[in-house]
Amino acid sequence: MIISDAHCHFFSPGFFRALGRDLDTQGADPATALPSRLGWDAPGTDESLADRWVAELDTHRVSRALLIASVPGDAAAVGTAVGRHPDRLVGAFMVNPSAPDLDARLESAFNEHGLRMACLFPAMHGAPLDGPGTRQVFESAARHGRSVFVHCGVLSIGVRQKLGLPSVFDLRLGDPLAAAAVAARFPSVPVVIPHFGAGRFTEALMAASSAPNILFDTSSSNRWVAFHPGLTLAGVFARALEVVGPERLLFGTDSSFFPRGWQRGTYETQLATLQELGVGADAQALVFGGNFSRIHG
């Protein structure tokens, strides 16, 4: 079975330097000082990090992975990775719809850097999904034949917590029903809601039921199930398969830093869950790779 991971983070040198603006690194380069503080490997260059990702995919026999530029303004780093390994890596970028240079950022990411997905974090950026900036992101995605990722529900940025950085998020803005409203206006744009809505599971199911261009990615440990007494990961998959079918689920791990690398345990847990539910081989193939190829080319 072909495995493609629809949710990984590219923690580039630029990512750490962006975090370092709010931290005292004693004059050291945040791209080395912050990973050292965290007990992680420094990323090196964008090129060497891209090579390491591909070697990691080879180790685990993963065909392709989508890498997310995880701070606004870091699209070029992922563009470098994709340009170096176009057969293995697909690029996505975080974008703040409130940015004054939004048009330029979108055109640069989609055209110059060849990225396939714009990632919205409304709770992080305080940008409502019914705002003009969000509409601009969707218009650009529709024009370029790209997709949009919308983070809904609970939002926890582990690296910020470990570094003691504040995370002042307005979780009210991450409503899957608001994502459905904008998705319905752009039916040609695939809209990916990660983590099954990250705690807003019922609303995510309602959203996907009303907007057929909404997909879920299955990434991370999905610890948000604790907010739903009695719900298990098997129950999540069963309900999602019932409502949207296997054609609208994208396997993901939320892998990010090294030396931890690709999260094989997440894959094994999700595979075992689908097998426990009696999901057939054809449907599994869609979830673990087929849908990735259809959405990302």
* 10-62 pLDDT per residue, tens: 999 999 999 999 899 999 999 999 999 999 999 999 999 999 999 999 999 99
Question: Quick one: tokens of 210?
Answer: 């009303």
Q: Residues near 189 by Cβ (< 8 Å), separated by ≥ 6? A: 138, 141, 142, 146, 147, 148, 183, 213
- Mean pLDDT of the region 137-158: 97
For the chain, strand residue ranges (E) read: 4-10, 64-69, 89-94, 117-120, 147-150, 191-193, 214-217, 249-250
Domain boundaries, the chain: 83-255+264-296
In whole angstroms, give the CA distance from residue 221 to residue 270: 10
At residue 103, does pLDDT exceed 90?
yes
- Report which residue type is found at 12: S
Is the link from the previous residue into 259 a cis peptide, with omega within 30 of 0? yes
Q: Residues near 256 by Cβ (< 8 Å), separated by ≥ 6? A: 8, 9, 11, 70, 159
CATH classification code of 83-255+264-296: 3.20.20.140
Q: Is 148 helix (H, G, I), strand (E, B) or coil?
A: strand
Q: Is 192 helix (H, G, I), strand (E, B) or coil?
A: strand
Q: What is the pLDDT of residues 248-280, one digit of tens each?
A: 999 999 999 999 999 999 999 999 999 999 999
Q: Percentage of the chain with pLDDT > 90?
A: 98
- Report which residue type is found at 256: S
Taking a C-beta distance cutoff of 8 angstroms, is the pair 215, 183 a contact? no
- Mean pLDDT of the region 88-99: 97
- Mean pLDDT of the region 152-164: 94
Q: How much is the mean pLDDT over the chain?
A: 97
Which ranges of 126-216 does DSSP label H, i.e. alpha helix?
132-144, 158-162, 176-185, 201-210
Q: In whole angstroms, how large is the CA radius of gyration of the chain?
A: 18
Q: What is the pLDDT of residue 221?
A: 85
Q: What is the pLDDT of residues 69-87, one digit of tens each?
A: 999 999 999 999 999 999 9
Q: Percentage of the chain with pLDDT > 70?
A: 100
Q: Residues near 130 by Cβ (< 8 Å), separated by ≥ 6? A: 178, 181, 182
At residue 201, does pLDDT exceed 90?
yes
Q: What is the pLDDT of residues 105-146, one digit of tens each?
A: 999 999 999 999 999 999 999 999 999 999 999 999 999 999
pTM of the model: 0.97
